[in-house]
């Protein structure tokens, strides 16, 4: 192996170091803040709704931009996951649906 494979640009290294420090600070700060907040029923409901809201806000723009085929593949994946409770099979079913839809012209 050559030394060039392990060389790092100084700006790149500083950028990665900075992003690492900021990510850790945000995560540690979140634990610190939540350790000092009283968990009322309203806060608990908000925290319980957060994972679903994050998934919807991530997936919905992809579905809206992808059109009917992406929406149908998402429905197939969700149905397979609910029925079979196996993530890899759900992904395989969605990929098979995508292949079938593309072969069908969608």
Domain assignment of residue 6, yes or no: no
Task: Find, among 85, 106, 84, the residue nearest to 97 by Cα.
Answer: 106
Domain assignment of residue 34, yes or no: no
Task: Find, among 93, 95, 70, 73, the residue nearest to 83 by Cα.
Answer: 93
Whole-number Å distance between alpha carbons of 37 and 30:
11
Domain assignment of residue 92, yes or no: yes
Domain assignment of residue 33, yes or no: no
Domain assignment of residue 94, yes or no: yes
Residue written as token pair 């908000």: 46
Domain assignment of residue 42, yes or no: no
Query: What pLDDT, in 10s, does the model give residues 19-41?
Result: 999 999 999 998 999 889 898 99
Number of separate domains in the chain: 1
Least confident of 1-10, 22-31, 40-49, 89-98: 1-10
Domain carrying residue 61: 54-106
C-alpha of 75 from chain center = 17
Q: Read off the pTM.
A: 0.53
């Amino acid at each position: 192996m050559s030394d060039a494979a392990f060389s790092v640009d100084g700006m790149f290294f500083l950028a990665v170091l900075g992003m690492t420090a900021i990510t850790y600070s945000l995560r540690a700060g979140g634990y610190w803040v939540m350790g000092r907040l009283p968990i009322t029923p309203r806060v608990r409901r908000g925290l319980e709704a957060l994972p679903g809201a994050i998934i919807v806000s991530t997936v919905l723009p992809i579905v809206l931009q992808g059109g009917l085929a992406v929406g149908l593949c998402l429905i197939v994946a969700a149905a397979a996951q609910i029925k079979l409770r196996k993530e890899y099979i759900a992904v395989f079913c969605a990929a098979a649906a995508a292949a079938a839809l593309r072969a069908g012209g969608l």
